[in-house]
Amino acid sequence: MAISRDDVVTWIKNYAQVINENNEMLTDLDREIGDADHGANMNRGFKAVMTKLPASEDKDIGTVLKSVAMTLLSTVGGAGGPLYSTIFMEAGKVIGPKMEIGLADWYTALQAAATGVANRGKALPNDKTMLDALYPAVDALKRAVDENLPIPEALQVSAEAAHAGMLATIPLVAHKGRASYLGERSAGHQDPGATSTFLLLDTAAKAWADC
Amino acid sequence: MAISRDDVVTWIKNYAQVINENNEMLTDLDREIGDADHGANMNRGFKAVMTKLPASEDKDIGTVLKSVAMTLLSTVGGAGGPLYSTIFMEAGKVIGPKMEIGLADWYTALQAAATGVANRGKALPNDKTMLDALYPAVDALKRAVDENLPIPEALQVSAEAAHAGMLATIPLVAHKGRASYLGERSAGHQDPGATSTFLLLDTAAKAWADC
Amino acid sequence: MKKLINKAEDVVREELEGIELAHPDLVKVSYDPAYIVRADAPIKGKVGLVSGGGSGHEPMHGGFVGKGMLDAACPGAVFTSPTPDQMLEATKAVDGGAGVLHIVKNYTGDIMNFEMAADLARGEGIEVESVVVDDDVAVKDSTWTAGRRGVGLTVLMEKIVGAAAEEGRSLKECADLARKVNGQGRSMGMALTSCTVPHVGKPSFDLPEDEMEIGIGIHGEPGRTRMKVEPADKVTEMLLTPVVEDLPFKAGDEVLLFVNSMGGTPLIELYIIYRKAVHMLKEKGIKVTRHLIGPYITSLEMAGTSITLLKLDEDLTKLWDAPVKTAGMRWGI
Amino acid sequence: MKKLINKAEDVVREELEGIELAHPDLVKVSYDPAYIVRADAPIKGKVGLVSGGGSGHEPMHGGFVGKGMLDAACPGAVFTSPTPDQMLEATKAVDGGAGVLHIVKNYTGDIMNFEMAADLARGEGIEVESVVVDDDVAVKDSTWTAGRRGVGLTVLMEKIVGAAAEEGRSLKECADLARKVNGQGRSMGMALTSCTVPHVGKPSFDLPEDEMEIGIGIHGEPGRTRMKVEPADKVTEMLLTPVVEDLPFKAGDEVLLFVNSMGGTPLIELYIIYRKAVHMLKEKGIKVTRHLIGPYITSLEMAGTSITLLKLDEDLTKLWDAPVKTAGMRWGI
Ligand SMILES: Nc1ncnc2c1ncn2[C@@H]1O[C@H](COP(=O)(O)OP(=O)(O)O)[C@@H](O)[C@H]1O
Ligand SMILES: Nc1ncnc2c1ncn2[C@@H]1O[C@H](COP(=O)(O)OP(=O)(O)O)[C@@H](O)[C@H]1O
Ligand SMILES: [Mg+2]
Ligand SMILES: [Mg+2]
Ligand SMILES: [Mg+2]
Ligand SMILES: [Mg+2]
């Protein structure tokens, strides 16, 4: 089975919905160790995505993802804007003008996304950033591809890995982003960006459960 | 019997003490219908009086009262400053270089004080000002002089009249001073200036109870 | 009470010390009695402009002492009128032989203290004129009240009359000009929060988390009405409409629009109000040709705003534009 | 949340409308993408100065657009870095052929967005240099953190480099000057109260009635330590000592002392702090030759203050004194 262009569009729309529902929760996490806007920023961006998506949702997957990237870049701002924009941009570049993708494509796309985020933000693993949810998900996908798991199962384990990664940010001391200003005081709080990243992968797993 | 220069000095010192003790109460009254400073203003003034009084307390009564007036004028500010300064200045002028005074002198002094306050502030009876405590006290003293009451008793009735006048300000709508901005909303509150004026006369009655 | 102060009774003195240290090029400071005077006072042949009032309204008045505005300012205790000895000494310090104008906000205390000071100064041979500012339309003006309060218009009057004195107008001309400004200007204010007088230590009034006070004074005196908080556009209407109707300002008028912060309201909100006010005035055919936006006449840390309108003509506009160099207002030099 | 706003999502747009209505002589406003640009931009042969950041710090940066300071400012959502498209369009709008300097406060978001904008602008053939401001000594600077934040020094840098660009210095000279300013300036701030981001609707942090936060950022990020409120003199010591020791500033240095209000702290308190800071510096043999006192880089309505010191030399002093005409800072013209 495969992930179609429409599946990708559904995933993005569902994520916009998930962000809207978790707006306050994400902002609350950011209040603890940041500046209380991560939910608001993401929500502003994905509201704009919902407005602009119709113009590209009949195009190929790469075009869809790149258009999401451009919208996020010009509406989210903050650290989250360039980083989430990078995720969609790099994934879009790797996937290119396909109308459907397989698990290996998705893995390569997510890996490119993670590399893009790392290049842009210069964070390392365990710096308490969204990468701490993204990297484990990519690793899990890699194993799933190697083991030839069916797509729904593969997505499930990658979302679970992201979830574990997200929770693992709690004890960490932040070394990047606004939370790093807190030094030791950042420990004991879950990273908002890692949380929204887990939600992104979790939404994919749910949206593509029948692929 | 008579009121000596030392009695006058005692009265002023006692009043400084009374103002200090009632600072918060007076300020609270002023918070309701003014700007929450009447107690602080009076207390600042009478603290200064306590510092400066030693320089004139061996002079005649007129000099003592005028020096209090000058100190109040340069330290109280607000509406209370000129008005309380006027009370002591006019009383001091009328009494002049005496070393002791009788009831009639005291009556004439207070009457001059009331006239001075009325000229300065242009308030009428029942405008909800300190005059509403002062006028009844002056009237009571007049009757006491006519009836030849002993000083302690006369002071007692004048203080009681001031007290009644003070309470009578409660239902009034203010027509002068800051409370007048409130219009009808000023009714139901006791005037702070009338309250400090009652305290002034009450302190005299207590200080001169053996005169 | 949360404030960056030391002892409450030292607030005004320590503020004066800061002003003295910061602006020796603009002002000299006297501590006893307390007044702030232009560094180059007295200026021979120039009318001296003196104002004053309780502290807590910064930058007014001390921040307006300097070239093209006030010659001296007398700071009282917080929210309390200063005393006649301050005003007398300030008057003497700025008298350059052309007389001295007292700009007095209409509060019983200010009026009485300035009256006594003017009497004393005249006794010392100085020609003194007084002008009373009473622009606050929130207060009913009648012989049965203390009359309208002096609020935002004071700032504009001090700038405009300051420019007139600077260009050499006579005491009578300056006083007439000040009365003209007072006749053509109106204000109204509101508060979202109270303020706390340092030596009192608790808020001057209580305002629940969802209410505002319309028609507030600048000393935390209660206003006209208390109501639920409304959006900025509605609040702007509630302030501007009575201001426009009182004079009344009419289609074709050119005006200066002054949107003031009571202290705690940030600039971002003032621009939102300014925007709505300009739209409203435009609809009425009133043209905003000059403006002032910011915290110029404040009530300590009170959150809130006031709107002042002044009808302009060629002379007033020219005087408004004239150079001014003070700590609180500066342009052209 | 008590604010004079309409809908939270309209705050920045309505503020821009107010700015556009108030200052047509100084600036033009673009709404999509959002930026404020000098009315006379682009100026041929002059280096263009662009800054930007989250809104809520007014007058910074939009209030500093005008002659002798910024050529353009990009306002983000409240406390959120603006986006590359805004910065790109602003850069194009101010490019007069001599290149464009981006002044970027050191926050991950600002850095990344400005980096992307600079790349895009270079792609369109515009010469772009970027300078990062990171003056906040409250934050440990190491390769293990995002580094120090850019705070109060930004205002001074924008003024000084703005003057240099105005007098015709090259892009490289302006960039070097900006880096020199960054090397010689340090800041630290504190808060008495939190602030509330409009679209969040509740305070960014909770601060009990008797506590303060030392080392606060300008976005309501928590600071270094929380403690009981201390008197102003003590607070001044807690801010100024780390600032002085960090550079370190030394006896004989001439400095600009900038005492800033975070928004809700009134001028009367700033002068009290200024006074203590001057006394402290005097004791260390450091001479305050220039100053800035007021709300210039704020955090909405937050009560609190920050102190910035900048070591001056003849060139920096001359550039500081040079005429500037913006909505938020003006002298000499
Ligand atoms: N250098 C970085 N690399 C990767 N992710 C980062 C970096 N800096 C911050 N982040 C992520 O961004 C999140 C914060 O995003 P957001 O609140 O939208 O931006 P801002 O911090 O500018 O307010 C953090 O929780 C973290 O996961
Ligand atoms: N015109 C007036 N005539 C007489 N008394 C007045 C007048 N105006 C005000 N007062 C008195 O002054 C009191 C207020 O004094 P205070 O609070 O010290 O001054 P302020 O009103 O300037 O703050 C009032 O309670 C009232 O009794
Ligand atoms: Mg954030
Ligand atoms: Mg009072
Ligand atoms: Mg008062
Ligand atoms: Mg942010």
Indicate the domain borders of chain A. Answer: 3-207
CA-based nearest distance C110→chain B, Å: 7
CA of C152 to the centre of ligand 4 (A): 20
Least confident of A43-52, A127-136, A176-185, C99-108: A176-185
Tokens of A27: 């902002």
Q: Which amino acid is at D252?
A: G
Tell me: do D209 and D177 sit in the same domain: no
Tell me: do C19 and C168 sit in the same domain: yes
Tell me: do D83 and D143 sit in the same domain: yes
pLDDT-based confidence at D260, cuts 50/70/90? Answer: very high
pLDDT-based confidence at D223, cuts 50/70/90? Answer: confident
CA angle, residues B51, C33, C172, in degrees to nearest 5: 140
Query: For the residues of B56-103, what is the DSSP string, one character each?
Result: TTTS-HHHHHHHHHHHHHHHT-TTHHHHHHHHHHHHHHHH-S-SEE-H
Q: What is the pLDDT of residues C62-98, one digit of tens each?
A: 999 999 999 999 999 999 999 999 999 999 999 999 9
What part of D 109-128 touches C (C-beta under 8 Å)? Answer: none
CATH number at residue C237: 3.30.1180.20
* Strand-pair category, C100-105 with B100-101: unpaired
* Residue D326 in domain: no
User: Chains contacting A with at least 3 CB pairs below 8 Å?
Assistant: D
CATH number at residue D163: 3.40.50.10440
- Is residue C142 pLDDT above 80, yes or no? no
Partner-chain residue, chosen from D113, D146, D149, that has the shortest CB–CB distance to A82: D113
Spatial distance between the Cα atoms of D214 and D220, rounded to a whole number of angstroms: 12
What are the CA-CA distances from residue B88 to residues B17, B92, C326 (Å)? 17, 6, 40
Q: Which residues surround ligand 3, an ion (CB under 5 A)?
A: A 30, 34-35, 37-38
* Strand-pair category, D211-214 with D225-228: antiparallel
Put simply, whether D303 touches C (Cβ < 8 Å) is yes
pLDDT-based confidence at D139, cuts 50/70/90? Answer: confident
The torsion defined by the Cα of D209, D214, D215 and D217, in degrees rounded to 10, comes to 10
Least confident of C10-14, C224-228, C275-279: C224-228
Query: For the residues of D39-80, what is the DSSP string, one character each?
Result: TTPSPTTSPEEEEEEEESSTTTTGGGBSBTSBSEEEEEEETS
Q: Is C230 exposed, middle or buried (0-12, 13-18, 19+ CB in 10 A)?
A: middle
Put simply, whether B36 touches C (Cβ < 8 Å) is yes
pLDDT-based confidence at A182, cuts 50/70/90? Answer: confident
Which of D183, D208, D238 corresponds to the end of one domain? D183
Tell me: do D195 and D168 sit in the same domain: no
- HSE-up (13 A, CA, CB side) for residue B127: 23
Q: pLDDT > 70: what percent of chain C? A: 100
* Residue D324 in domain: no
Tokens of B72: 């109040």
D23 is catalytic: no
Whether residue B165 has its Cβ less than 6 Å from ligand 2: no
pLDDT-based confidence at C261, cuts 50/70/90? Answer: very high
Contact yes or no, B with A (3+ CB pairs under 8 Å): no
Which of D129, D149, D183 corresponds to the end of one domain? D183
Give the residue ranges of chain B where pLDDT is below 50. none
B121 contact residues in C (CB cutoff 8 A) = 108, 112
pLDDT-based confidence at A79, cuts 50/70/90? Answer: very high
Peptide bond into D33 cis (omega under 30): yes
- Is residue D220 pLDDT above 90, yes or no? no
CA of D299 to the centre of ligand 1 (A): 20
Domain count, chain D: 2
- DSSP label at residue B160: H
Spatial distance between the Cα atoms of C154 and C160, rounded to a whole number of angstroms: 10
Whose Cα sits closest to atom 15 in ligand 2? B80
Q: Which amino acid is at D213?
A: E
- DSSP label at residue B55: G
- Is residue C182 pLDDT above 90, yes or no? yes
Put simply, whether A47 touches D (Cβ < 8 Å) is no
Put simply, whether C280 touches D (Cβ < 8 Å) is no
The torsion defined by the Cα of A197, A198, A201 and A203, in degrees rounded to 10, comes to -110
Question: End-to-end alpha-carbon separation of chain C, Å?
Answer: 40
What part of C 60-119 touches B (C-beta under 8 Å)? Answer: 76-86, 107-109, 112-113, 116
pLDDT of residue D14: 98
Q: Where are the alpha helices (DSSP H) in D124-214?
A: 153-166, 171-184
Tell me: do C18 and C165 sit in the same domain: yes
Put simply, whether C199 touches B (Cβ < 8 Å) is yes
Tell me: do C219 and C118 sit in the same domain: no
- Whether residue D81 and residue A78 make contact (CB cut-off 8 A), yes or no, is yes
pLDDT of residue B12: 98
Minimum-distance ligand 2 atom for the alpha carbon of B76: 18
D57 is catalytic: yes
The H or E element that residue A114 is part of is helix A103-121
Tell me: do C199 and C159 sit in the same domain: no
- Residue pointed to by tokens 């500066």: C330
Range of C128's domain? 8-183
Q: Which of C9, C35, C74, C221 is the best mutation test for B, with the most CBs of B within 10 A? A: C221
Least confident of A104-108, D202-206, D255-259: D202-206
Contact yes or no, C with B (3+ CB pairs under 8 Å): yes
pLDDT-based confidence at C225, cuts 50/70/90? Answer: confident
Q: What is the pLDDT of residues C37-48, one digit of tens each?
A: 999 999 999 999
Tell me: do D191 and D177 sit in the same domain: no
Tell me: do D179 and D192 sit in the same domain: no
B175 contact residues in C (CB cutoff 8 A) = 144-146
* Residue D286 in domain: yes
A33 contact residues in D (CB cutoff 8 A) = 222
Q: pLDDT > 90: what percent of chain D? A: 92
Which of D155, D183, D211 corresponds to the end of one domain? D183
pLDDT-based confidence at D270, cuts 50/70/90? Answer: very high
- Interacting residues of C279 by C-beta distance below 8 A, sequence separation 6+: none
The H or E element that residue C162 is part of is helix C153-166
* Strand-pair category, D211-214 with B3-4: unpaired
* Residue C26 in domain: yes
- Whether residue B35 and residue C108 make contact (CB cut-off 8 A), yes or no, is no
Tell me: do C111 and C197 sit in the same domain: no
Tell me: do D195 and D176 sit in the same domain: no
Whose Cα sits closest to atom 17 in ligand 2? B38
CA of B176 to the centre of ligand 2 (A): 8
Q: What would the mean pLDDT of D57-68 be, rounded to a whole number?
A: 98
pLDDT of residue B36: 87
Q: pLDDT > 90: what percent of chain B? A: 93
Tell me: do D162 and D206 sit in the same domain: no
Q: What is the mean pLDDT of chain A?
A: 96
- Is residue D82 pLDDT above 80, yes or no? yes
* Strand-pair category, C185-191 with C304-311: antiparallel
Q: pLDDT > 70: what percent of chain A? A: 100
Tokens of D329: 């800072």
Whether residue A178 has its Cβ less than 6 Å from ligand 1: yes
**Domain B3-207, CATH:** 1.25.40.340
User: Does pTM surpass 0.90?
Assistant: yes
